[in-house]
Chains A and B, each alone.
Chain A
Amino acid sequence: MRAILCVIAVVLAAAAAPASAAGLVLAPCPPAVVTGIRATLPTATGVKCYVHRTEAEVDGTPAGAVDEINAEVALGDGRVATVDVSPQGRVRSTTYRHSDLVGSSGKGMALLFWAFALAAVAGAVFVITRRNLIAAVMGMVGSFVGIAAIYMMLYAQFLAVVQMLVYAGAIMVLFVFVVMILNRPEDEPVAPSGRAGQVIGGLAILYLVVQLIMMLTRVEPPNLETAMAAPPPIQQGYDWGSVGAVGTDLFGPGLFPFEAISILLLVAVVGAIAIARPLREGSDNAGEGVVDEPTRTRQEGSAP
């Protein structure tokens, strides 16, 4: 349990991080800036300016606003440079986009990734190995939390929150309830071994693991240089992955699937109620007065 709590804490910390990274405002570039950049980078094809305005103070008295301009410069050879430039067009420094996670070259993000990936995988392994159902459910929660953090790293803040609410919150609670209704530990958690089918299936899974990993490591982003940089805000001005951005898409082109999903959920709710309610009105027939199904099934199962 303690491990899970730690994971949640780290996730929350991580969730705060990318938000602070985006503090610049997209603004039209002053002509002097463009001239200065062109002088320094002759192959520049396009310039995008992010203006950072701070109120400067000299010896405790306000000395007017100081603009800092970070310009994104597209170069003729396809690369993108980030240029720190003064409003007068003096280039202070030029950085080429580094293909590192989240646009920062720190090792901290890599550590976070490994931590959450480990949490997710360990939780998943926990799920399929535990005999105790409650332990399995808790492993599942841990796994979901790790996955939510991974979402966060992929700039999917909204989905990360939804993941926490819906999965780790609602669905897992539902599982816990059902586990409590059943209230029976498994006799034999793993299906009997030694079957040819299981061996073949296991080998197939192993093969799939190897192949999938080999294949996915070879996936190349379409734009290698800018791929791992922080994604730009969407056209309407909302940050990538924010509620606004997802909402714009969801209620725009995604409206029909959204409405269809609402019907699906309605049907699922009705269906769940219809399936799970007692067969006969007024009597919860769990246990009493029903055919001894297991016996019958076992007999059938033993028949050739």
Chain B
Amino acid sequence: MDASIASSGGSGPWPLVLTIGAVGGAFVIAAFQVFGPLLAQFHDGHGGAGLVQIAYTWIEAGPFKAQLAFRLDTLSAVMILIVTFVGFLIHVYSTGYMAHDPRYSAFFGYLNLFTGSMLILVLAANMPVMFIGWEGVGLCSYLLIGFWFENDAFASAGRKAFVVNRIGDFAFLIGMFLLFWATKNTSLGDGGSLDFASLKSPVVGKAYVEGFWGGERLAAAAGILLFIGACGKSAQLPLFVWLPDAMAGPTPVSALIHAATMVTAGVYMVCRLSFLYASSTTALIVVATVGLLTALAAAFMAFAQTDMKKVLAYSTVSQLGFMFVAAGTGNWTAAIFHLGTHAFFKACLFLGAGSVMHALEHEGSATPGDIMTMGGLRRRMSITHATFAISCLAIAGFPLFSGFFSKDEILAGAFAVHPPGWPSGYGKILWFGLLVGALGTAFYMWRLYFLVFSGEPRTEPARHAHESPPSMTMPLVVLAVFAFVGGFIGLPHFEGVELPSFTHAFAHWLAPSVTAEWYASGVPGSAEIAGHASNGTIAVLMVAASLVGIAGIAGAYLFYHRGPSRTINRWSEHGGFASIYRASKAKLWFDELYDVILVRPFKVLARGLFEIVDRFVVDTVAVDGSAFVIGIFGRISRWFQNGNVQRYLVGVVIGGALVFVITDCHRKATFNYTIEGNKIQLRAEPGPGLGGANAKVYWDLNGDGEKDRDPDHPDKLLDARSVTVTGYDGPITMWVEDPVTHREFKVTKTINLNEGRTFWPPPEPGTPERPGDDKGGK
């Protein structure tokens, strides 16, 4: 958690030591915590509870309470290890890559802030804190994508990332509020908790399965809204457009965004809220479908890209689609597993791409990312080449490489998924779609590989390229090793086949933190969402996946192993294939579509608002108007503010008088009395001012609770300010009727006739006349 921002603009080794030390230290602490206390807790069977650290109460409003709290459970443990480890390697790599940048320190500061935000995001114990991290990575992505803001295109790429993310964040917020609203009446007693532990409890679970809209469960609405947020962050279909443009940032940033931080946030969030998604088939279907469409569309768009980083960017989008399909089929373990393996091989690929571009740039290439200008780098950059090849094998799903196992897990899960309400056969469709996506992945990744590394150099800079410095190649090697072996912690599970325990470690490890069972009625039922296929099916699926991967590699070899083949060039320019090629190259015209349906109308609207709201309302009315009003008041108050203390005191006195005027209005009506012998003299005090002077005053002088009649005019009520009663000893009530509002105040006093006597014993009470007889207006 120790993300510190190095002071930007400084020079020398200190920023480096500080920032890299921070991330490295974070990794050490993370590892220590995970393999120390958390592992012990896991073995005790409390891995889901996790280690909780409450810093302080951040928001407290009524019964609602949001604490700045962090929770390390098995799910966040995976994430922090990936984030800190990959982040550390990327930091180290950046020392070489950014060595010649003038804003070196600022870069590391941002990078550190980015890592820190991501750690907050994954360690958050409740949704508001998660949102801090969520926004933090959004901010840092803006800062880092637009790091070279001198270039307009780069700066606008940063803005685009930010704006598109904001759209998703808006939905995320609404989803969060919806959860708050849904849970505020549950008997948990914390007034709408957004704490993950509370949200997960069965008490709150009842709220998820309540009907919300159109027969759907509430979980569907909340889940889809939150998923839209995840779409923005994780670049899923409607909101993916920022990610390819994000390549404007320095390559380590791309690696960080794509591998360890940011884009994985959406997947993480969905898995973190697995209990919510496990309550609604609709939400699951939406997640899976969007994931599948994204995986296919992004794979398609990657075919025709010629920029090295763009290809990788689309591959990231596509792989994230895979992860969301896994999440949408309730296969949380597979989603996180693929997230982990992907972090390693994608970081390795990006850093490898950075290494290549670094080399070409040094040799004076104007377009260092254009793969058409490369070729034949295998011999000139052997380490980069080797690590790149391993990562490509991993991402293509070549058997025994990490990507093979994680992708296979996703495919198998999709094949066998069957939660209640799931359309029959839809799992198979997902599986088939993913298989096509995997084929595409293998093809375009190896197309990239062959165009960059094999064949002959196609330009002069490529001919003179040289290997990068060790600070850049060492992280590559480490990442490549993990890209190769990372899959062995999650081998597929065959019935009756005993494998070493570490091969299932990952699934066991995650199990306490995610909810794999379907929520029938607010509590996890017995049925698992992601079904389990039989041994034979798993084997067949594995073979199919391997064959698809190998087929993709073979296809790429066929067309590209000696650079772009003539066949491809011809196809891409003429005939039916050419339009498909153009569609891929133009990213299916998503940017243009958004421009027409969103950006242009918005610009028109903005212009109108500028004229009306800004020019007229704000400038003329608000600014000039308020200045005018203040000017008038200033002119008035100048009369008071003349330095004469006595005049100030006049104000004080007037204020004191006003206090009386104001408090007078609330003085209550009452009546006074004096006793003479056995006569009681009553005098009404109906209150001050005109209201009191014109008030009607009624009396009850015989204790019957009714207003008495006037003895002189028996048809009217007695209305007098002062009244005399003789020989009556009991409760006397006065009503005062306000002349304006006609509201009545009622005052009752019981008067003791003996009061105030100065002699003893008291005289015999005179034989009382008939009560109420002897009274009269006066």
Using a CB–CB distance below 8 Å, which chain A residues touch chain B? 77, 79, 81, 94-96, 98-99, 191, 197-198, 200-201, 204-205, 207-208, 211-212, 215
Cα distance, A152 to B756, chains bound together (Å): 27
A197 near B653 with CB under 8 A, answer: no
Cα distance, A99 to B756, chains bound together (Å): 8
B653 near A81 with CB under 8 A, answer: no
Cα distance, A137 to B444, chains bound together (Å): 106
* CB closest chain-B residue, reference A206: B657
B758 near A200 with CB under 8 A, answer: no
A198 near B660 with CB under 8 A, answer: no
Say yes or no for B632: interface residue by CB 8 A criterion: no
Which chain A residues lie closer than 8 Å to B213 at the CB level? none
| 11 residue pairs bridging A and B, Cβ less than 8 Å apart | A77-B754, A95-B760, A197-B650, A198-B650, A200-B650, A204-B650, A204-B653, A205-B653, A207-B660, A208-B660, A215-B660
Contact with A along B746-778 (1 / 0, CB 8 A): 000000101111111000000000000000000
A81 touches which one: B660, B752, B760 (CB < 8 A)? B760
B758 near A197 with CB under 8 A, answer: no
CB interface residues, B 221-266, toward A, < 8 Å = none
Which chain A residues lie closer than 8 Å to B464 at the CB level? none
Cα distance, A99 to B758, chains bound together (Å): 10
Which chain B residues lie closer than 8 Å to A99 at the CB level? 756
Cα distance, A94 to B756, chains bound together (Å): 14
A201 near B758 with CB under 8 A, answer: no
The interface residues of chain A, by DSSP majority, are classed as helix
Closest CB pairs A-B (n = 10): A201-B650, A204-B657, A94-B760, A211-B660, A204-B653, A204-B654, A207-B657, A197-B650, A197-B647, A208-B657
Contact with A along B726-759 (1 / 0, CB 8 A): 0000000000000000000000000010111111
CB distance from A247 to the nearest CB of B (A): 35
B654 touches which one: A94, A200, A215 (CB < 8 A)? A200
Say yes or no for B664: interface residue by CB 8 A criterion: yes
Question: 5 more A-B contacts (CB under 8 A) besides A191-B646, A197-B647?
Answer: A95-B760, A96-B760, A98-B758, A200-B650, A211-B660
Which chain A residues lie closer than 8 Å to B660 at the CB level? 207-208, 211-212, 215
Using a CB–CB distance below 8 Å, which chain B residues touch chain A? 646-647, 649-650, 653-654, 656-657, 660-661, 664, 752, 754-760
* CB closest chain-B residue, reference A198: B650
CB distance from A41 to the nearest CB of B (A): 8
Cα distance, A191 to B645, chains bound together (Å): 12
B657 near A95 with CB under 8 A, answer: no
CB distance from B637 to the nearest CB of A (A): 13
B760 near A204 with CB under 8 A, answer: no
A208 near B653 with CB under 8 A, answer: yes
* CB closest chain-A residue, reference B660: A211
B752 near A77 with CB under 8 A, answer: yes
Which chain B residues lie closer than 8 Å to A197 at the CB level? 647, 650
Which chain A residues lie closer than 8 Å to B752 at the CB level? 77
B758 near A208 with CB under 8 A, answer: no
Which chain B residues lie closer than 8 Å to A205 at the CB level? 653
Cα distance, A212 to B653, chains bound together (Å): 13
CB distance from A299 to the nearest CB of B (A): 14
CB distance from A239 to the nearest CB of B (A): 27
A211 near B657 with CB under 8 A, answer: yes
Which chain A residues lie closer than 8 Å to B755 at the CB level? 79
Cα distance, A77 to B650, chains bound together (Å): 50
A211 touches which one: B647, B664, B757 (CB < 8 A)? B664
Which chain B residues lie closer than 8 Å to A200 at the CB level? 650, 654
Which chain B residues lie closer than 8 Å to A79 at the CB level? 755
Which chain B residues lie closer than 8 Å to A77 at the CB level? 752, 754
CB distance from B392 to the nearest CB of A (A): 81
CB distance from B195 to the nearest CB of A (A): 47
Cα distance, A42 to B379, chains bound together (Å): 123
CB distance from B157 to the nearest CB of A (A): 60
Cα distance, A198 to B649, chains bound together (Å): 10
B656 near A208 with CB under 8 A, answer: yes
Which chain A residues lie closer than 8 Å to B757 at the CB level? 96
Which chain B residues lie closer than 8 Å to A215 at the CB level? 660
CB distance from B515 to the nearest CB of A (A): 62
* CB closest chain-B residue, reference A199: B650
CB distance from A244 to the nearest CB of B (A): 34
* CB closest chain-B residue, reference A207: B657
Which chain A residues lie closer than 8 Å to B650 at the CB level? 197-198, 200-201, 204
CB distance from A66 to the nearest CB of B (A): 24
Which chain A residues lie closer than 8 Å to B657 at the CB level? 204, 207-208, 211
Which chain A residues lie closer than 8 Å to B758 at the CB level? 95-96, 98
Q: Tell which of B649, B653, B754 has the most Cβ of chain A within 10 Å.
A: B653
